[in-house]
Amino acid sequence: MQQAKKQFIKECALYIRGDVSQVRLRGDTDTIKLFANALSESRKFYLALQEGDFKDAITALKKKRTASSILREQTGYVWPL
């Protein structure tokens, strides 16, 4: 199970960096939406940092933190990215 979790985090990191175009998730629809939102907001934050627009990066960081908090509250999973 630990190996699967590491692989999942690796795939998410690759998506955030733009190295892969998608991450496949399976499970409860509501839970998947929470993970997808956290993943999407993490990518938006990464892209804002890469563009050097720190005003947008701060806004994206706040959205990422909100998505991560909601994920943790609803599932207990702490978003590491």
Q: Tell me the pLDDT of the chain (81 aa) as tens digits.
A: 688 889 999 999 999 999 999 998 888 999 999 999 999 999 999 999 999 888 999 999 999 999 999 999 999 999 999
**Full-model pTM:** 0.90
Report d(CA 70, CA 3) in Å as an integer: 25
How open is the CA angle 4-61-18, to the nearest 5 degrees? 50
C-alpha distances in angstroms, 21 versus 24, 48, 80? 10, 18, 20
